[in-house]
Structure 1
């Protein structure tokens, strides 16, 4: 097997690959992964055997108290992506004292964004009900998302009705971490259609402007919306950098104090790939935000 790796990854790249694999095994030891848990009953007529599943990553070490919980929603332009690719996010969070829930949800063209948001809401509802079994605190539940997943996370935190339809009368989300988020204001984006290929987003979002507005967090945030921690790549897509700043300004106008950090030199995909590294700047800010370091408590309103 070692010879095979060096054939595929010649020179220093092979050594780097082996070091990464070894590190992944080392990181896996402090965490326990419960894989492919169905968050929608198999008897449900909408049940999708692949997409209605999640993984839970819990620290193996004992804790006298329940741990904070982060539900991670992957990106992929609303038509691709899979929780299995993001095991490194779950592992890194668990190693640092967080119970992580990494979810799948249905994708276009099978469904449109309102159904995707509903899937995410059902995953959150499952988490609230079951996460104590994994050592997580349902009273300290946070959302995190990259790209399209960031837009979905923001929507769940800001539109209480999305979760209320799944039996959560009070929104359980205590804060949101957005990593190069897309879809914060698709109502504005799809009206302008100013970039090549924008017509592709009419597949997941449909052709009704009222729906575009309905699934855009920009139009749901209020003064009581949970706090946001935003990270944007310095070389990401212009639509993401501009909509993130517009979102920040909207929150400020409501009396909120969101944190938005621009990471120099980072493009869109590396903004999530950097989460492979435990001491990444995002984790440095995320851990105190959720109350996972030095006994710190979460920043909540």
Structure 2
């Protein structure tokens, strides 16, 4: 009978051990970094200020450094209509533990705004970083942007469309490099003209019905010889639209002589491409740390 009672308790014991492992692991990850939550990157009270979406979180290494650290701004995905910086604390913690100052941002979402306004929000967040990150040990001359899915498309826009920064008062683009993780929306002009896949009409909410806006929100058409270097990662089993548009983007980078690497990660689906960032030793982090020259 004692054996039977123990057998029934095993699943609960295993779950408890797993939970303790996760909590202990998260504590080990969190301990080397400091998180500063909900910093407003648009002045509260100004016209259009969104008290939830115009905010960012900072993740700062606790150990001292004689020099300013590289800065990585992460832009979340979520189909342009969902997602939050609060989901991606694990990315901020792991980047900080490995010597970066990480900035995880929110931005406004559809249906309240369309993608050009989201890109403007991301540019305003990057402007705040440029002006203030030295106060937190980050180097304003080493700002990199990173994004997954819809956030990858927005990160690519920041890197290639310099007018996003002239609109906020910067004479030059502060982005020194880009890390794109299974990016979506690289060429929505072509995508929305074709409407090849089921439920594609849902994207007329964040992108509208004007083809001129589709093109204006597509990073592919802004790639130029002065675009910053890029690391691009695509899941082997991701959506065909992401695989195809990423290849087109790679071709455009090659045509313009933009330094980049393009890596297909075996076996990964779209969601798995961001979930793998839970583990600090995955390929993206290893490449990223060399790319940004983290200590």
Q: CA deviation at 1:13?
A: 4.4
Q: CA deviation at 1:257?
A: 3.1
Give 2:109's match in structure 1, choosing from 107, 110, 134.
107
Q: CA deviation at 1:15?
A: 2.7
- Partner of 1:24 in structure 2? 26
Give 1:82's match in structure 2, choosing from 68, 84, 95.
84
- Partner of 2:262 in structure 1? 260
How many Å separate the matches in 2 of 1:33 and 1:255?
38
Deviations 1:56-113 (A, max 9, x none): 0010000000000000000000000000000000000000000000000000001100
- Partner of 2:139 in structure 1? 137
Conservation of the 8 A alpha-carbon contact between 2:29 and 2:94? yes
Give 2:71's match in structure 1, choosing from 62, 69, 88.
69
1:93 counterpart = 2:58: no
- Partner of 1:220 in structure 2? 222
Give 2:55's match in structure 1, choosing from 53, 62, 71.
53
Q: Any idea what SS the aligned residue of 1:163 has? A: helix
Give 1:168's match in structure 2, choosing from 167, 170, 173.
170
How many Å separate the matches in 2 of 1:117 and 1:17?
38
How many Å separate the matches in 2 of 1:100 and 1:108?
25
Deviations 1:11-39 (A, max 9, x none): 64443332122101111010000100000
How many Å separate the matches in 2 of 1:10 and 1:77?
36
How many Å separate the matches in 2 of 1:116 and 1:105?
6
> Matched residue pairs, number?
287
How many Å separate the matches in 2 of 1:277 and 1:50?
28
Q: CA deviation at 1:290?
A: 0.5
How many Å separate the matches in 1 of 2:233 and 2:199?
25
How many Å separate the matches in 1 of 2:74 and 2:264?
21
Q: CA deviation at 1:136?
A: 0.1
Change (3 A) 1:183 1:11: farther
CA RMSD of aligned residues (A): 1.3
Q: Any idea what SS the aligned residue of 1:129 has? A: helix
Give 1:15's match in structure 2, choosing from 17, 25, 29.
17
**Runs (5+) with no aligned partner, structure 2:** 1-7
How many Å separate the matches in 1 of 2:19 and 2:206?
36
- Partner of 1:43 in structure 2? 45
Runs (4+) of structure 1 exceeding 4 A deviation are none
- Partner of 1:184 in structure 2? 186
- Partner of 2:288 in structure 1? 286
How many Å separate the matches in 1 of 2:169 and 2:257?
29
Q: Please report the TM-score for the alignment, with normalisation by the length of structure 1.
A: 0.93
How many Å separate the matches in 2 of 1:32 and 1:248?
36
Deviations 1:242-263 (A, max 9, x none): 1111101110011123201111
How many Å separate the matches in 2 of 1:73 and 1:15?
33
Q: CA deviation at 1:285?
A: 0.3
How many Å separate the matches in 1 of 2:14 and 2:282?
23
How many Å separate the matches in 1 of 2:259 and 2:141?
22
How many Å separate the matches in 1 of 2:210 and 2:127?
28
How many Å separate the matches in 2 of 1:38 and 1:29?
25
Q: Any idea what SS the aligned residue of 1:23 has? A: helix
How many Å separate the matches in 2 of 1:67 and 1:108?
34
How many Å separate the matches in 2 of 1:286 and 1:180?
15
